[in-house]
Every structure is written in structure tokens, then in C-alpha cells.
Amino acid sequence: MKIAVCDDNVNELVILKDMLEKRVDIIVADYYNKLEQFWNAVVCECVYDVVLMDIDWGGAQMGIDFANRLLNKNINTKIIYVTGYNDKFSQRIFLTPSNLCGYLVKPVDEKMLYAMLDLAAKAIDKAHKQKLIIKKRDGVCSVPYSDIVWLSSELRKVIIHCINEEYSYMGTLNELKEELPPNFAECHKSFWVNMDYIKRIGKKEAEMFSGVIVPISRAKYSVFLERYMKYIESCVNDKRG
């Protein structure tokens, strides 16, 4: 795993570093005592599997705000909040969207930290194992469902739009839909979207976190919106336990 640890208290960073260095599954661990340094790294395409994020930074912006920004940039990065104020932020963390995976209270218990990291590792491994197998004339390739932002079809060609690249093959979305996991929804006869990447739903379109606009047909709008709302509700309930 690639991990970032963000805390304005250098002593806390040292404590967490001592704990994390005992984990053999951590390939990279970067430590930040300024949120701006962390964000600059993210903007420069530094992608982390897990971020341990201190909530209170003693200013207008908090770790929660940056976790929300990270959701828009790298949706697959897991967030584990760390705080010395157990009750102060327990409600707000659910009001501000993030890819929340855990919550630790200072002083951080080593066993609890490892348990949170184990959960994150299992979730990451599961996401990587769930893949769409594409059969093409020149061979076979596999694409993790978690990397797929949206899908489109044109005549007899399916185009898979991922985070950083596109794939295409001869086929139809109708043939593909039975293979898609429940976080995918049809918004148009020629378009399916990964609901994890939706930023906003308008009257005629869905805006993805990447800024891409995917059309919603009038015929599909009501069913699509209802499915999206139910999916979001299920995600919130899962995070609450």
C-alpha cells in the first residue's frame, strides 16, 4: 500500500511513523505537517491507497475539507480520520462526502490502527479483483470496475471510459449490463455511469467528478434518479455501520 499521513503535530507524525514502519505491506509512506504540501503532491499525480488525515488543523480549513477534495481527485483513495476530539467531529464526518474507511482517536492505539489498515487493504484488494474482462481480436484485457467512470456505445462498439484511459471493443451495452456491479446505472440507452463518480445530477445530464457531462434521457431520468438516491443512502448506512 501507498500511504500518506497528514498531521500538523510533528510528534504525532513520529509516533505514527514508528507504528507504520512495522508493516511489511506498506510500500510507500509519506508524511505531511502542512495540508498544502499534501495537496500539492496530490495535484502532481501522487496517488495514495490510504490517507491518515488529522481532522483539526487549528484554522479555517480542516482535514475533512481536504478529504472531500481528494474524493473529487482520486475517488479510490481510502480515508482514515485521526482526531484528539472524539465527540467534536463525529457527526460532521458523515455530512461532508469522502471515501471514509475508518476513524481513530488519539492517542492512536497500534492494534486499532493495524485493524483499520487491514480493512482498507481488504477493500482495495477486493476492488482490484473485481474486473471486467474484455475480449478483443488481438487478445484479452481486464479492467477493474473501480477504474471505470462511464460507458458508452456507438453502433456495435462499446467504449469504456476509465480514470486515465479508454478501451473499446465490438459489442453492445445491453450484452454487458448483466456483468456490471450494482454501483453502475443506465442513464441513457447509450450510456451507463459508475455512480461513485457522480458529482451532480441535473435535469438532462450527470456531471462526473472529472468534469465530463453524461446525458440522461427523459425516458430514463426518473428510474435513474431513484436508483442513484437509493445507492447513496445505502453507502451512507454502510459507513455508519
Residue that terminates a domain, selected from 102, 128, 154: 128
Q: Are residues 107 and 140 in the same domain?
A: no
Q: Which long-range contacts link 233-240 to residues 24+ away (Cβ below 8 Å)?
A: 236/94, 239/94, 239/100, 240/94
CATH of the domain at 149: 2.40.50.1020
Give how many domains the chain has, as a whole number: 2
Q: Are residues 52 and 70 in the same domain?
A: yes
Given this model, what pLDDT does residue 7 score? 95
Q: Are residues 91 and 10 in the same domain?
A: yes
180-208: per-residue pLDDT in tens? Answer: 989 999 999 999 999 999 999 999 999 99
Q: Are residues 97 and 179 in the same domain?
A: no
Q: Are residues 144 and 234 in the same domain?
A: yes
Return d(Cα 172, Cα 168) in angstroms, integer: 11
Q: Are residues 123 and 138 in the same domain?
A: no
73-121: per-residue pLDDT in tens? Answer: 777 799 999 988 766 666 677 777 788 888 899 999 999 999 999 999 9
Lowest mean pLDDT among 15-24, 186-195, 227-236: 227-236
Per the structure block, which three cell numbers stand in for 146? 473501480
Domain extent at residue 136: 131-240
Provide the whole-model pTM: 0.63
Q: Amino acid letter at 116?
A: M
Q: Are residues 23 and 55 in the same domain?
A: yes
Return d(Cα 151, Cα 167) in angstroms, integer: 10
Q: Are residues 102 and 6 in the same domain?
A: yes
**What mean pLDDT, rounded, does the chain reach?**
88
Which residues is 140 bridged to in the sheet?
135
Q: Are residues 214 and 140 in the same domain?
A: yes
Which residues is 236 bridged to in the sheet?
none
116-127: per-residue pLDDT in tens? Answer: 999 999 888 877
Q: Are residues 235 and 200 in the same domain?
A: yes
Q: Are residues 92 and 176 in the same domain?
A: no
Q: Are residues 142 and 184 in the same domain?
A: yes
